[in-house]
Amino acid sequence: MEEFMSNKRCPMTTSAGAPVANDNQSRTAGPRGPLSFDNHYLFEKLAHFNRERIPERVVHARGSAAYGTFTLTRSLRDYTVADFLQEPGQQTDIFLRFSTVGGGQDSSDYARDPRGFALKFYTGRGNWDIVGNNTPVFFLRDGIKFPDFIHSQKKHPRTNLPDPQAIYEFWANNPQSLHQSTILMSDRGIPLSYRHINGYSSHTLSLWNEHGERFWVKWHFKTNQGIKTLTNAEAATRPAFGAQQDLVDSIDKGEFPSWTVKVQIMTEEEAKNYRINPFDVTKVWPHRDYPLIEIGQLELNRNVDNFFAENEQAAFAPSNLVPGVGVSPDRMLQARLLAYQDAHRYRIGANYNQIPVNAPRCPVHNYQRDGAFAGITPSIAGNGANFYPNNRVDHGAPAEVPDVQEPPLALEHDAWLDIYDNQHEDNFNQAGELFCLMNEDHKRQLVDNIADGLSQCTQAVQQAMFEQYAHAHADYGKRVRQEVLNRLG
Ligand code: NDP
Ligand code: HEM
C-alpha cells in the first residue's frame, strides 16, 4: 500500500509536540496496582478521543469531496467583473463535495435522494460557492417550508424507521414539489456514482459587469462521464460506501472526472416579462428559450488527505460571493443566505473560515477578532488597528473597496403590503414536460418507484397524489393510479 512505502521512522509525540516513550502501557502502581495520577499522556489521549466528534450536517451529512481545477474556455467579461471569468485559459482551484441529503454520516451512498453538488472556487478575490444539487430544480419555492420538508423525508420521530406516509403526505400537501419529486422517482433518482451526475446551481444567480448591468444566470455542470444510474434492485446490492470508493479510486488512478460547464443567461429586462418566474427554483428555463452556452471545464484531480479535516469541516455557503457575482430574489436562495453560515458557526465554530479547506487563497484583512481557535488570519495590519474607521488606512490598515459595490436592485412592489401567495404558481406543467420526454422504460421505472412508496400511504394521500400526477399529464396520473391499485390487489 502506498502509505507503507516510506522508509522513514516518524517520532510519536503528544499534541504539544513532546516525544512519547510508551504508547502501550499506562503508568501503574506496581504490576497489579491501579493507575497513578501522573498518567498525563493517557489523560490527554482519552480526553481528546472524547472530543473527536463535531455535529454532523443536519442535511447532506454523508458526502465525499475532492480538489480540482476550473478552466475558463470562453470569456464572460461582457457579463461580469469577476476576476476568474475574464480570459479563456484562466484556471481557478476548486473544491467539490458530493453528498446525499437525508441520511446520516454513515448512511448509504445509494439512497434515492438528490445528490449535493457543492462547489468552492478559490478566486483571487475570495471564495465563491455554488451550493447546488444534481437536479436543476428543488422541491420548494420558499425556505419557510424547508424544516418541515426535511422532517417529512427523514425517519419517523418515534420509531426511527423510514416513513413513506410522511414523505407523500408532505408532497400531497405541497404540489410545488411535483417537478422535483418526478425527477427523484425517475431513473435518475439513484446515480451510479458521483462521477456520473450533472451539477446545477438550481437557483438563478447573477453576474454584473463594469457598466453596472446585471444578468440572471443558471449554471449547469454536465458530466463528461455520461449519466449512469441504478435501479432500486441494483442499488440494494451495492456496498453503502460505493460512490465514495469510486471517487477516491478513480482520482488515485489518475482517471480524473470532469464536467463541461455551461450557463443560461437572461437580462434583467427579459426577466420582467418572461412567462416563467425566473426566480422560482421549482422551474427550469427551457433550453429552447435560453440555450446553454459552454464556458469551461471542471476537473477533479486530487483526493483529500484527511477526510475529517477537509470533508467534514468543509463549509459551503450560498452567501460566499465575490465581486461580479451575486444572488437573485429567489425566496429559497434568500433564506439560504442565513442558514449556512449559522450552521457552520454551530457545527465548526466562529473561525471556520480559517480552516485550510475553507480559507481563501487570497489575503484576508478585516477587523474581526479572536474567538475559539483563532489562527493567524485575518492579519493584524496597520500597526495593530483594531477598529474602523481609523487614521491608519494609508499605513496598511484594511480599508473599504467601494468599486466592488454591486449594482442596485430595483424593487417593484411594496414590502409587507400582503403575504404574496405563490403556492399555486403552475406546479404541474414542467413535471408533465419531463414525463413526456421519458422513453417507455423510464416511464415504467418512474411509475414503479412512485407506487413502491405511495401504495403504503393512506387513501387520502393517494388520492391527492393521483390528482397531482394527472394534472401534470393525464397518462402520468392514469399509470400511477393503476400501478398503486395493482399493488393493493
Ligand atoms: P430539453 O429537451 O431541451 O431538455 C431536457 C433535459 O432533461 C435534458 O437536459 C436532459 O438532461 C434532462 N432529463 C432527461 N431525463 C431526465 C430526468 N429523468 N431527470 C432530470 N432531467 C432529465 O427540454 P426543456 O429545456 O424544455 O426541459 C424539459 C424538461 O426537462 C423540464 O421540465 C425539466 O424537467 C427537464 N430538464 C430541463 C433542464 C433545463 O435546464 N431546461 C435541465 C434538466 C432537466 P441530459 O442532457 O443530462 O440528458
Ligand atoms: C447543506 C439548509 C436548500 C443544497 C445544508 C445545510 C443546511 C442547509 C443547514 C448544512 C450546512 C452545514 O452544516 O455545513 C438549507 C435551507 C434551505 C436549503 C434552510 C432552504 C431554504 C437547499 C437547496 C439546495 C441545497 C435548494 C440545492 C439547490 C445543499 C448542499 C449542502 C447543503 C449541496 C451540502 C453542502 C456541503 O457539502 O457541505 N443545507 N438548505 N440546499 N444544502 Fe441546503
Domains and CATH numbers, the chain: 63-142+191-358 (2.40.180.10), 428-488 (no CATH)
d(CA 286, CA 136): 11
Among 127, 133, 320, 353, which one carries the catalytic annotation? 133
Say how many Å lie between the CA of residue 24 and the centre of ligand 1: 59
d(CA 207, CA 212): 10
The reply to whether omega before 162 is within 30° of 0 (cis) is: no
Check: CB of residue 473 under 8 Å from CB of residue 435: yes
Of 244, 222, 204, 203, which is closest to residue 106 (Cα–Cα)?
Answer: 244
d(CA 311, CA 299): 18
**Candidate from 192, 281, 437 with most ligand 1 atoms within 8 A of CB, to mutate:** 437
In angstroms, the Cα distances linking 448 to 176, 185, 232, 442, 466 are 22, 9, 10, 10, 14
Ligand nearest to the CA of 187: 1
ipTM above 0.90, yes or no: yes
pLDDT in 10s for each residue of the chain, 489 residues:
555 667 789 999 999 999 999 999 999 999 999 999 999 999 999 999 999 999 999 999 999 999 999 999 999 999 999 999 999 999 999 999 999 999 999 999 999 999 999 999 999 999 999 999 999 999 999 999 999 999 999 999 999 999 999 999 999 999 999 999 999 999 999 999 999 999 999 999 999 999 999 999 999 999 999 999 999 999 999 999 999 999 999 999 999 999 999 999 999 999 999 999 999 999 999 999 999 999 999 999 999 999 999 999 999 999 999 999 999 999 999 999 999 999 999 999 999 999 999 999 999 999 988 899 887 655 666 667 889 999 999 988 999 999 999 999 988 787 776 788 888 899 999 999 999 999 999 999 999 999 999 999 999 999 999 999 999 999 999 999 999 999 998
**Candidate from 223, 287, 427, 435 with most ligand 1 atoms within 8 A of CB, to mutate:** 287
pLDDT of residue 429: 98
Among 22, 39, 40, 60, which one carries the catalytic annotation? 60
Residue nearest to atom 4 of ligand 1 (CA): 287
pLDDT of residue 378: 59
Element (H, E) at 90: none
Say if ligand 2 is within 6 A of residue 136 CB: no
19: which strand partners?
A: 13
**Which DSSP letter does residue 385 get?**
-
Say if ligand 2 is within 6 A of residue 343 CB: yes
Tallying the residues shown for the chain, one arrives at 489
pLDDT of residue 235: 97
| Cβ-Cβ contacts under 8 Å for 355 (sequence gap 6 or more) | 309, 313, 315, 348
| Cβ-Cβ contacts under 8 Å for 373 (sequence gap 6 or more) | 349, 351, 354
In angstroms, the Cα distances linking 228 to 132, 187, 231, 239 are 19, 9, 10, 17
Specify the residue for cell string 472530543: 51
Look up residue 217 and give its amino acid.
V
Active site residue 424: no
Say if ligand 1 is within 6 A of residue 191 CB: no
d(CA 404, CA 241): 44
Say how many Å lie between the CA of residue 395 and the centre of ligand 2: 41
Residue nearest to atom 33 of ligand 2 (CA): 116
Phi, then psi, of 229 in degrees rounded to 5: -135, 170
C-alpha cell at 128: 465563491
DSSP sequence for 284-346: ---TTTS--EEEEEEEEEEE-S-IIIIIIT----TT---TTEE--S-HHHHHHHHHHHHHHHH
C-alpha cell at 111: 439512497
d(CA 271, CA 216): 8
Of 318, 309, 251, 316, which is closest to residue 67 (Cα–Cα)?
Answer: 251
Task: Considering only CA atoms, give the Rg of the chain.
Answer: 26
Say if ligand 2 is within 6 A of residue 238 CB: no
d(CA 486, CA 489): 5
Residue nearest to atom 1 of ligand 1 (CA): 287
DSSP sequence for 3-42: GG--------B-TTS-B-S-SS---BSSTTSPBPTT-HHH
d(CA 119, CA 316): 8
**Candidate from 109, 120, 131, 353 with most ligand 2 atoms within 8 A of CB, to mutate:** 131
Active site residue 60: yes
Q: 420 a known binding residue? A: no
